[in-house]
Structure 1
Amino acid sequence: MTITFLGTGTSQGIPVIGSDHPVCLSQDPRDKRLRVSVMLSWNDFNYVIDCGPDFRQQMLTHNVRKLDGILFTHEHADHTAGIDDIRPFFFRQGDIPIYAHKRVISELNRRFDYIFANENRYPGAPAVQVNEIKKDEPFSIGDLRAIPIEAFHNRLQVFGFRIEGFSYLTDVKRLDEDQLQKLKGSKVLVVNALREKPHHSHFNLEEALEFAEEVGAEATYFTHISHYMGFHADVEKKLPKNVFLAYDNLKLNVELV
């Protein structure tokens, strides 16, 4: 399975509009981060986790011609605002499967009612096939099983996902022990690390490192990174040997069992 990091930035992306912060002015391509998302590809399947405002650009960058579904972690705009751009896939394939908590489905329905309309549909609007994710209930994507991992973004419930040896969580501040146990044995863990300074709803670097050690994956990659984290090249030098900062367009291969 190939994991493609479509975006590794926080809600504003890097560079932040109008910012003169040194990281925003960096010429290192690893310091330029679109809104957070990954694509999982195996056999003839392509699934993305989250669909933010940079979705169109991300699909064009990677010449994605087929989309089998979208898994949503939660409803915040930096994870959902690109859903209208599924239209080219819809025109070629029909309704695009989405997978989300019922609260997230309700919020998407409120904000993008024309996508979910059953009657009097606007010509040219995309449509989705809705699949509700429930805690402790694995579900199928393609020919693989996805295990939902419940976590909390401050007080907001969010889902992470484990697919085979790959585990992905973002916008996490805490999770319960029974959910942590589902991550044990992961070959690759991806988790958010916003910055060094503590934050009320995201792991900071210290918390993310502690979490990575608890999970004990063979390799851990940090994502959802703010410009306040510092320059990619400088931060990487301070990390343990099996922990890395992810960056946009990075590809990993995770062996399927």
Structure 2
Amino acid sequence: MEITLLGTGDTTGTPTPGCDCDTCSLARERGIERSRFSVHVRNEETGESLLVDASPDFRQQILTHDVLLPDELIITHVHFDHLDGLGNAYRLFDSLPVHAANEIDPEKDESVADTIRSKFDYLDRISVYDHDPLSSFSACGFDVTLVPVEHPPLLCYGVVISGNGSKLVLSGDTSYGIPDSSRERMMNPDLFLADAIVPASLCEHHPAGGRHHTEDGVPRTFGYKHMTREGALSLANELDAEGTRLVHVSHFYPAEEAFEEPLAIDGEQYRI
């Protein structure tokens, strides 16, 4: 399993357009980028490629990191920074299977799969496949499971990808409050890609503060939608992850911390 981190940033990415903060300035100086989230997973046995989330930066990511166009696609939720790159399917694919959850979201009165169908009804090249959360399905020769996480107000899913004796787990956009049933499926990954939008110290600046505190009072959730760095590392430890990279990273990290381990940047590649 060959894994390429195409996009490791949050909604605005790093550097953020029009921002001259120390972190964005340092990223420009070093030529570092964290574009909107997407992960490319190649099955080295079959030669097929699976893409997790369709970043709005899809075109540039594929060209910059010289990876193959995906044979199949997974969408974790319907926020634009994970979905809107699907429009790139126009003229690039003869056909593209797209996998998503079939659970009805009370906020939208439709599932992620249904939202994809309605939003991209003009794309006759894509076929949307509905899946029950916590039930495995096959994609690009991998065994894949969508696991519910906590990203209010919308339903969102992490992803477990297994094949050839290796296991990749993506937390999805989530707070630390992931259901036990999902955590059970996420256990013992060879590589864990975890949402870690800010360090816990920044929770004091969020209107909702922090949640899911450790015994020492450190918040593992920033507000109510994303994990802090400390929360992501705590979850990685609980899952007994062999390796961990922190993704969906914002430019709000202080410059002296923003590019320290284990915070990921675009272009990192792993074989597990």
- TM interval, shorter chain, is 0.7 to 0.9
TM-score for both structures, normalised by structure 2:
0.81
The answer on 1:149 being equivalent to 2:173 is no
Amino acid at match of 1:3: I
The answer as to whether partners of 1:10 and 1:226 remain within 8 angstroms in 2 is yes
Tell me which residue corresponds to 1:119: none
The answer as to whether partners of 2:43 and 2:140 remain within 8 angstroms in 1 is no
Counterparts of 1:72 and 1:132 in 2: how far apart (Å)? 11
Tell me which residue corresponds to 1:234: 257
Counterparts of 2:172 and 2:225 in 1: how far apart (Å)? 11
Tell me which residue corresponds to 1:207: 231
Shift of 1:34: 0.5
The answer as to whether partners of 2:96 and 2:127 remain within 8 angstroms in 1 is yes
**Please, which of 169, 172, 190 is the counterpart of residue 170 of structure 1?**
172
- After superposition, the C-alpha distances for 1:109-163 in whole angstroms (9 at most, x for unaligned) are 3322212xxxxxxxxxx52121112112100012221122111103422111111
The count of corresponding residues between Structure 1 and Structure 2 is 234
Shift of 1:194: 0.2
Counterparts of 1:8 and 1:195 in 2: how far apart (Å)? 13
Amino acid at match of 1:127: R
Amino acid at match of 1:204: T
What stretches of structure 1 move > 6 A for 4+ residues in a row? none
CA, structure 1 residues 109+143, in 2 after alignment: closer, same or farther (shift >3 Å)?
closer
- After superposition, the C-alpha distances for 1:10-29 in whole angstroms (9 at most, x for unaligned) are 00111112111111111223
Tell me which residue corresponds to 2:190: 187
Secondary structure at the aligned position of 2:92 is classed as: helix
The answer as to whether partners of 2:136 and 2:146 remain within 8 angstroms in 1 is yes
Tell me which residue corresponds to 1:53: 56
Counterparts of 1:29 and 1:37 in 2: how far apart (Å)? 19
- After superposition, the C-alpha distances for 1:179-223 in whole angstroms (9 at most, x for unaligned) are 111111211111100002223210011211211111110111100
Counterparts of 2:20 and 2:151 in 1: how far apart (Å)? 29
Counterparts of 1:143 and 1:17 in 2: how far apart (Å)? 38
Counterparts of 2:251 and 2:6 in 1: how far apart (Å)? 17
Counterparts of 2:153 and 2:235 in 1: how far apart (Å)? 19
Secondary structure at the aligned position of 2:49 is classed as: strand
Counterparts of 2:258 and 2:20 in 1: how far apart (Å)? 20
Shift of 1:108: 2.1
Counterparts of 1:113 and 1:236 in 2: how far apart (Å)? 40
The answer as to whether partners of 1:5 and 1:250 remain within 8 angstroms in 2 is yes
Q: Which runs of 5+ in 1 are unaligned?
A: 116-125
Amino acid at match of 1:206: E
TM-score for both structures, normalised by structure 1:
0.85
Counterparts of 1:70 and 1:210 in 2: how far apart (Å)? 29
Amino acid at match of 1:133: H
Amino acid at match of 1:89: L
Counterparts of 2:24 and 2:69 in 1: how far apart (Å)? 33
RMSD in angstroms over aligned alpha carbons? Answer: 1.7
Counterparts of 2:190 and 2:58 in 1: how far apart (Å)? 27
The answer as to whether partners of 1:166 and 1:186 remain within 8 angstroms in 2 is yes
Counterparts of 2:55 and 2:140 in 1: how far apart (Å)? 22
- After superposition, the C-alpha distances for 1:75-96 in whole angstroms (9 at most, x for unaligned) are 1000011111123431xxx220
Q: Which runs of 5+ in 2 are unaligned?
A: 103-110, 203-221
Counterparts of 2:63 and 2:90 in 1: how far apart (Å)? 13
Tell me which residue corresponds to 2:37: 36
CA, structure 1 residues 194+66, in 2 after alignment: closer, same or farther (shift >3 Å)?
closer
The answer as to whether partners of 1:151 and 1:160 remain within 8 angstroms in 2 is yes
The answer on 1:8 being equivalent to 2:19 is no
